[in-house]
Each structure stands twice: as structure tokens, then as C-alpha cells.
Chains A and B, each alone.
Chain A
């Protein structure tokens, strides 16, 4: 039995790697993408471009603006001299945010009244807008505290102190890079498996495979091994890069993480082979791969939390292996989750793997066109 499996595996590897371009495509782009995406995928805003329209001549307004100038989160791009300039500067995306201080600002403050500052934010990217707005509030709050202290006035009766666990500086890269491990592993596995059976069907070599003494189980193992080995080694490289290059803290246990990688790879391979054996042409295989890949990534919690989705879609994500893998990756990396805490993620992955691999094996023989 093992000799037959070995023979099939060697043949699969040859089919995959004999073409120089195919070899390149499987190895180089995932590594390049890891590097580019690792830096690109961040929600953290730095250097928010802002413009100032200050009608006030007093010192108080200058003090307030000094807070913005001194912040690494903001960079001043324009000083406006009329209200009419606000609109074009935002429309053209020169500034994300405009601070408008009216002429009574310093006077109001010195008289002990509340002074007003208008903050205008470009809402085209609502998430960026929300962050910029939060940063601005923080600076204004600091100004308020300093003002109260300097003028001997009582502050607000209660104040909020916030701490973040597991990621004290709230670096979104720590959250995103472990996600990229899952993302690229999935893409590579799909690339290797989703077209493999479809190609053989289109070229007619699959019929030859069917008349060999290979049993369905052996065929499944032989067809899965290349994807598994390639996926495993790329996942390892990416995990190493996440820890050594991107310096994402790794608090958990390597064995726990690899249990997750193992089960995830099996389920991804199962889905890839299933798509591949349903498809009659490679074009259909490619379409199938995308119809799985795109929702699997977008609805995995990689970029937008599953908790924000409506209940129906949340239930749909239960079928998505990526969803479980994301929890495992982030849990092991950032929170040091134990094997025991992650069992709830392991068994659905195992169930998906068993189901899809069985279905693929059945389809090998029964899907004749």
C-alpha cells in the first residue's frame, strides 16, 4: 500500500514542480506577500494629515494646537485663512481632519466658560475617521486636564483610565500578522490542490489513474501529501517570520499551534480536492477555488470581527475552517492559550477535514461526466 502511495505522491510532486513557472508561483509569491502584507495591513494611523483654521489670536488656542503639533499621530499640512478653504482641502484628501477654532476661544476659556473647537473629519474611510477622531479627543482631553490644573480648577468628577490586555500598545500588526499565517497557508494549499484533479480530468489522465490498483484512500493520501508538505513548510517559514521578523510575541506552545496547523491543512486540502473533483474543466476549478477562498478569508474574522456580523452570517462562518484557525493562531500567539482552551476550535476543524476528504474520495470515483 505504501509503495503505491509513494509512487502517486512522487508523480504529484513532479506534476506540480516540473514546470519552472509553477515552482516559482508556489514558493516565491507567498513569501513576498507575507512581507508586503505584514507591513501594509494595519489599522494604526500615523501622521494623520490635518489642516488648521484658527480665528483666535490668543495663547490658549496656540497651546491647544501645540498638542497636535507635538503628537506623532498628526502632521500639519496646511494653515487655512478662510472657512471656504475647508471644503477643498478635505475633498482633495489633502487633509483628513480640519481643526476649526473660532475667534472667541481664548476669551471664553479665560472667562471660565466652555470654549468650542470644531473638528471636521473626512468620513470616506469610516474606520480611519473614527481613529483620527479618537486621537483628537485624547489631545483635547489632555489639554483640558492641563488647563484645569494650571488654573486651579476642579476637573471633572470622574475620569476614565483605560488599559489593554494582551496588546498594551494596541498594535494592530500583532493581530493581523498571525492572521496572515492563516491567509497565505490557505492560499498556497488551494493553489496546489484546487486544480490538480480538474487538470487530470481535462487531460484525460484521471481515467488512467482510476484503472490502476490504487484504492480511494490511497488516492486521497497521494493527492493530499504534496499540498500538505508544501503547506506545512510554508506555514513554518511564515510563523518563523512572524516571530523573528515582525516580532509578534509568541506566548503559547508550539505543539498546540501545530495541532491547529495540521488540522487546518487537512480541512483546506479536503475542500480543495473536493472543488477539484467536482470541476470538469480547470476554469471551473479556478472559479470554485475563488468562490471558496474569498468568503473564507473575508468571513474569517481576519479583518473584521465575526461578532459584528449579523446572526445568520455568524452561523454560516461555523462552516469556515479559517474561522477556527484564526482563533487558534491569535490565541496561541498573543494570549498563550492552552491546548485545553482550544479544543472547541480543534474538533470542528477535524470534522470539516474528515467530511471533505471523504467526500473528495467518493467524488473521485462517482463524478464521471
Chain B
């Protein structure tokens, strides 16, 4: 130890050379852990919340429509129409309901009992053999546009399968479809929406954990007057902040471990990339989100406002602007700029890539760098604001 260091330590720790900083920090940590144990809501935030939310959403959130109730109206039932309808009966995407006429189908659609109508007209068979081809009229309930698009996609699939089978049965090569498309979906070949939603969900849950854990802690000390007591002791401000971050960081990583384990074993989301990258990214993200919580806590001064701010700035932005469910690439440019202010958007990008595609550094490194910058900003401002408040 250089003489200057000894002097500095001696001054700040009230004459106890060496080891004092460590001891003080240990004392603070002990206090914080005791506080966590006494009000079990922190532990509930870190462990109960991820389990509950992952269970609900892992099972509940799906963009894959299955067994869509589809009303079927056939004006003139015969062999051709029943072969076509047959291709819908076999599909797990539809649960077809045969309706006697368009009037009934329209009523059922208006009351929401069916989500689409498939109408084969009177002269379907005749037109099928004519030069123009037979129209298959499909009406979908467009209220939920995304769902409607999926349903019409499914109908197209069923139609082209039926065409294929029909031309094989008639012994002709499929020469009335000039270009055949061969689809390859990388990273998620069955397009299971759960595989992309669960990794993103981890980011949403971690945002909540990080901010909820720390949003109240500083405000609480001010509100109860214990902050003054703490400041009267020889601890440094930096140590107070560290003493707040370390316990909640540990809790947060615990929550992360739990979430990853559940995603992998319970929801069977493939993990192509490495666990190591996942946890480095999670640590960076936790710093950013704990930093945001601390900042809220320091600025708000009382728990009531801190709680309100936490509700406003954490969940909804992480839910809507992070790319967890709404693709950032689809957003207008100014909004895409706003998403850069949301730490969760970087974490979601890393999670989706590491889980489904692997350790692709061109995606991971820029996002990780952004997380480092965000943590530095949040923690830096927190430290400065905290000092200022003391003056």
C-alpha cells in the first residue's frame, strides 16, 4: 500500500487503516440482507414473480392460431366440394362448422362464434372444369388483423395442398402452377411463437425484477429517516450505493437462473448459444435495470411517487417497445429511435439470438455494448444525484 492510500483510507475510515472499507461494506450488506429477509416481498419479487409469470405466459401467450372455428357454406354439395372441405377437416388449424346458408354464417360471424366463412358457390364443380377456374370465397373477421392474416394464410396452404393432391390423383404434373415456392424457416422451423416469446419474456420479467427491487429501497430510507442515520456513520456514499446494488444483483441473477431453467426444461425452448453469453448479458442488463430503479428511487424521494414511476416506466415500455412481441423493424422511424432508450430492447435482441440462433457476435456485441453504456449512465447519474441530495 502506498503512503497516499494509507492516508486516504485512514481519513475516511476514521483512523482504522486497511480493511475498513471492506468491513463497512460487509456491514451494509448484512443490514440489507436482513431487511430483505424480514420483508419477504423482495424474495417474492425475485423468485415467485418469475415462476408465476413464466408459467402463465409460457402457456398462455401464443400467436399460433389453432382450431380456428370456420363456418363452411356449400351451396351445392357434391364429390368435388367434399374433397375440398376434406382438406380442412384434416387440418389442425381449423375446426370447420358446416352451416346451412350464408345468412346463418353471417349471424354466427357477427356474434363472434366463427372467425371466418368459406363459401363454395352453386356452380363450383362446373367452373372447376372450366377455363376460368372456380372461385373459393373466403371471408375473415378482420377485427384482429394479425389473426385474420394467419387464417387466410392457413386457407391458402390448405388450398395449395388440395391442388397438389388433386393433380397427383389425376396423374398430371403440377404444371398449372408455374413457380413453386420452397419455404425454409431458419431458427424456428415450425414457427412456434412460444420459442420466440419466452426468451423475450425473460427480458420483461428481468426488467420488472430489477426496477421493482431497487425502486423503493433508497426512497424508503429517506422516508423513514434511516438515511440520515446511515450518513452519520463513517460509510461512504459509494459504499451505500454498492451496498444497495450487490444484494439485489444477487437476487436478480437468481431470478434469471430460474427463468432460464424453466424456459429450457419446461417450455423446451432450444438454447443454441452458450449459457455463458446468456449470463454475461443478463448481468449487464441487471446493472442497467437496477441502475434505473436506483435512479427512480433517488429522484422520487418518497416511496409513493417511486412506486408510481416504476409502474409507468418499466413494464409497458419493456412490453411494447422492446421487440418482445412487436417487431421493432415494423415501427416508424421516430419510434424506432425511442426503442433505443429502452434497455430491454437490447436484451431481447441478445436473448432471441442466443436462444434460437446461437452466439452470433455481430448481434451480441453491439447490443452488449449498448447495455454497458446504459448501465454506466444510470449508475453514474444515480451517484451524482445522490451526492447532490446530500448537499
Hey, which bits of chain A sit against chain B, CB under 8 A? 19, 21-22, 25-26, 29-30, 33, 36-37, 39-49, 64, 88, 90-93, 96, 109, 112-131, 133-134, 136-137, 140, 143-144, 147-148, 153-168, 170-172, 174-175, 183, 187, 190-191, 194-195, 199, 202, 281-287, 289-291, 293-295, 297-299, 303-305, 307-310, 312-313, 316, 330, 334-335, 341
Contact = CB atoms under 8 A, between A and B. Distances in A.
Interface string B119-148: 000001001110111111111111111111
B63 interface: yes
Contacts of A194: 307
Nearest to A309: B60
Contacts of A307: 65, 68, 115
B41 interface: yes
B215 interface: yes
A164 B148 contact: yes
B9 interface: no
13 contacts: A25-B305, A113-B173, A127-B196, A158-B128, A159-B136, A160-B152, A164-B139, A164-B142, A165-B140, A283-B42, A290-B208, A299-B60, A312-B59
B183 A119 contact: yes
A96 B329 contact: yes
Interface stretch (B19-27, B155-163, B225-233, B247-255): B155-163
Interface in B319-360: 319-321, 323, 325-327, 329-332, 334-335, 338-339, 352-353, 356-357, 360
Contacts of A123: 185-189, 191, 196, 356
B263 interface: no
B92 to A, nearest CB: 13
A42 B148 contact: no
A130 B303 contact: no
B319 to A, nearest CB: 7
B31 interface: no
Contacts of A172: 144-146
The majority secondary structure among interface residues of chain B is helix
Interface in B146-197: 146-150, 152-153, 155-156, 159, 163, 166, 173-189, 191-193, 195-196
Nearest to A43: B146
Contact of B145 (A148, A170, A304, A335): A170
Contact of A133 (B42, B185, B303): B185
Contacts of A291: 49, 52
Contacts of B195: 126
B133 A127 contact: no
B363 to A, nearest CB: 6
B42 A294 contact: no
Given A22-B304, A125-B327, A295-B56, A116 B148 contact: no
B66 interface: yes
Most B CB contacts (10 A, CB to CB) among A40, A147, A160, A170 go to A40
Contacts, number: 372
B189 A160 contact: no
Contact of A40 (B147, B179, B312, B326): B326
Contacts of B356: 123-124
Interface residues of B, number: 121
Nearest to B45: A287
A136 to B, nearest CB: 7
Contacts of B174: 114
B310 interface: yes
Contact of B178 (A124, A128, A144, A158): A144
A182 to B, nearest CB: 12
A161 to B, nearest CB: 5
Given A26-B308, A44-B145, 9 more contacts: A40-B320, A40-B331, A40-B339, A115-B179, A122-B187, A162-B152, A286-B307, A313-B60, A335-B143
A160 B320 contact: no
A117 to B, nearest CB: 5
B39 A155 contact: no
A166 B141 contact: yes
B227 to A, nearest CB: 16
Contacts of A64: 179
